[in-house]
Amino acid sequence: MYHRYDVLVIGAGGAGLMAAAQLANTASCAVISKLYPPRSHTGAAQGGIGAALANVEEDHWIWHMFDTVKGGDYVVDQDAAEILAREAVDAVLELEHMGLPFNRTPDGKIDQRRFGGHTRNFGEGPVRRACYSADRTGHMILYTLYQQGIKNNVQFFDEFHMLDLIITDDGICNGIVALEVRTGEIHIFHAKAVILATGGFGRVYKITSNAMAATGDGVAIAFRRGLPVEDMEFYQFHPTGIFKLGILLTEGARGEGGILRNASGERFMERYAPTLKDLAPRDMVSRCIWQEIREGRGVDGKDYVHLDLTHLPPGALEEKLPDITDFVRTYMGIDPVTQPIPIQPTAHYAMGGLPTDVDGRVTIDEVNTVMPGLYAAGEVACVSVHGANRLGTNSLVDLVVFGRRAGRHAAEYVKSVDLEPLPPEPDFRARAEVSNLLERSRGENASIIRATLQAEMMDKASVFRTGEGLAQMRTTLSQLRDAYANVSVADKGKIFNTDLLEAIELGYLLDCADAIVEGALARTESRGAHLREDYPDRNDADWLKHTLAYRTSGGIQMRYKPVVITKFEPKERKY
C-alpha cells in the first residue's frame, strides 16, 4: 500500500512525539511506530529531566553545560551542549504548560533534586537540577506528549515496523518501507522528510535496563544503507540495576541520599570520588562497583554491592521513589525501607548513534555534509551532547530539545522542496529480507544466536575491555553473522508474526554490536564509558575526536571527525 505525507516521524517515544508536536499544524505528518506509542521506552524513564531552573538553589545554564562537557569526558560537541543547557529551561516549561504534573516545592514551583555529575559552580558540589515527577518522569512526559499528538490530529500508524529507508540515486531520503504487524502487509510511505526517533539498543547486552524493543533499528537500517554511525564504542552502564535482572533503580535514589556499600558496609565511593561520592558520574561509579567486586568486596562474595536507602527520612520512598520501591518488593522480595538492595551495573544508554547537526539533520562525513530529507533525534542520534558518558537526566532533555529542533527544521524544509519521485522498486530490499526469513524451512535458531550475542558482549565489550577480548568478540560476531545468514523462523504466517520481527531485530543487534566492537578495538585509549585495560589513560593527542564507522563491502571502515570545542578546554576529570 502507498501513503504520502510531508513528514514521517519514525518512533513515538519522547523524541518522535516532540518532533511531531512541532509539525502538527504546519505540515501533513504521520508518526509510525512499531509499538503502541505509550509503550515506548521513554515511558520507563524514572528519575528526572535536567534544566537549570534554579527553583530550589542557585543554578545557571553554563554550569549545566560545563557538567555535560566534563561528564562526557570532553568528546562532546560544545556548540550542541550549549544549546542543550540553554534550551532545556524553556523546553521543561513548555512541558509544564502542556500539563505535565511535576512534583512541586512548597511554594508551587517545579521541584528539583540532585543527580550524578550535576554540580554548582563548575564542580564545587552537587546541585539540585533534575525536575521530576516522582520516579515516573518519563511516563508523564510520554503521556503528556501523546495527548498533544491526539489533540493536534497527528496521524498515528501504530504497530508498523520500519524495514528500510528510501533513498534516491541523488542521495535524498524521501520515504520508508514498513511492515504492518497486524496484517504482514508491506507499505510504502513517500514523503519530503523522514525523522528517525527509534531509540537505543540496550538489548545488545545480557543485563540491561532497556525494553525488549530497544534493538537499534534506526541505527542499523541507516548503517546498512551506507550512512555512518558515530561514537558507537561509548555505551553506558548504569550503576544501579537490580542484581541479575538489570531492572533500573534510578540515580534519583542516590540523589535523595541513597548510599552504595560493599561487603563490609563501607561507603566505598568516598575513596574514589571525595567530592561527589555516590553522585559521581555513571561511568566512574559503574567502574568502581566492578572494581570492588573484582577485589573481593562484593556482598557475600557475589557480583553485587548494596544500594542502601534505609536511612532516608520516613515517607521519602513512598513520596519520591514509589515505583522503584515497588520493583524491589516485587522482584527481590525485600523491603528497601529496612533492607539494602543488591545491585550491579546494567547496560543502559547509547551515547553513539546517527551523526546529526544541531537541527537534527543527519550528516554523512567528517565535514558534516547533510543527507537531504533525513533527520534523527533522541537516543538513535548522536549530536553529540553526551560524548563518552551521558549525565543522568540529560537524555530526556536531549529528546525534547533536539526533537523540537528537528521538528521545527523539518517543518521549514518541507515548504522549500518538492516531493522527489520514488526510485524504482523502493521496497525490494525489505521484501527480500522478509521472504528470505520466511522461505527457509530449516535453519539456525534466532533465540540461541541472540543469547550468545548478549552474553558475549556482556563479557567482552561492557565496563572493562581489552584488545584481546574485543578481538575475540570480533571473531564471535562473524560466526554469529554466518549463523544468522541461515536463520529460519518457525511461524510462517502473516498476522502478528513476532517470530519474524524478532529475527529481523536480531539482525539490527548484530549490526550495532559490530560497530561497538570495531569502534572499541580502534580506540586505543580510555575515555568515559570506554575503558581499555591495555590503554588505561585518556589520550587527547591522538583520540580527542569522534569515530565515524561505515559498513562497506570490505568490512567496517573508520573515519574520524574533530570535536567542537568552544568554551571549555579539556582537563583531567576529578570529582
Ligand X SMILES: Cc1cc2nc3c(=O)[nH]c(=O)nc-3n(C[C@H](O)[C@H](O)[C@H](O)COP(=O)(O)OP(=O)(O)OC[C@H]3O[C@@H](n4cnc5c(N)ncnc54)[C@H](O)[C@@H]3O)c2cc1C
Q: Measuring CA to CA, which residue among 202, 179, 204, 197 is closest to residue 189?
A: 179
The CB-of-360 to ligand X minimum distance in angstroms stands at: 12
CB nearer to ligand X: pick between 68 and 210: 210
Interface residue list for ligand X (CB under 6 A): 10-16, 32-35, 37, 40-42, 44-49, 137-138, 161-162, 197-200, 209-210, 213, 217, 248, 250, 349, 378-380, 393-396, 399
Which contiguous run of DSSP H or E holds residue 562? strand 555-562
Q: Which residue has the cell 515496523?
A: 161
The CB-of-525 to ligand X minimum distance in angstroms stands at: 26
| Neighbouring-strand partners of residue 558 | 549
CB nearer to ligand X: pick between 138 and 345: 138
HEC per residue, 232-287: CCCEEEEEEEECCCCCECCCHHHHCCCEEECCCCCCCHHHHCCCCHHHCCHHHHHH
Q: Are 132 and 103 in contact (CB under 8 A)?
A: yes
The CB-of-296 to ligand X minimum distance in angstroms stands at: 30
Residue nearest to ligand X (CB): 13
Contacts for 425 with CB less than 8 Å, ≥ 6 apart: none
Is 282 a residue of the active site? yes
CB nearer to ligand X: pick between 117 and 199: 199
Indicate if the alpha-carbon torsion angle 16, 17, 18, 22 is positive or negative: positive
∠ CA 195-199-201, nearest 5°, is: 135
105, amino acid identity: T
The CB-of-468 to ligand X minimum distance in angstroms stands at: 31
**Burial 225-247, CB ≥16 within 10 A → b, else e:** bebbbbbbbbbbbbbbbbbbebb
The CB-of-169 to ligand X minimum distance in angstroms stands at: 24
Question: Where do runs of H (alpha helix) occur along 24-60?
Answer: none
The CB-of-213 to ligand X minimum distance in angstroms stands at: 6
What's the rounded Cα separation, in Å, for the pair 528 and 280? 12
CB nearer to ligand X: pick between 160 and 543: 160
Dihedral, CA of residue 382, residue 531, residue 347 and residue 546, to nearest 10: 10
CB nearer to ligand X: pick between 199 and 519: 199
CB nearer to ligand X: pick between 189 and 575: 189
Query: Which of these is catalytic: 282, 361, 532, 573?
Result: 282
Catalytic residues: 282
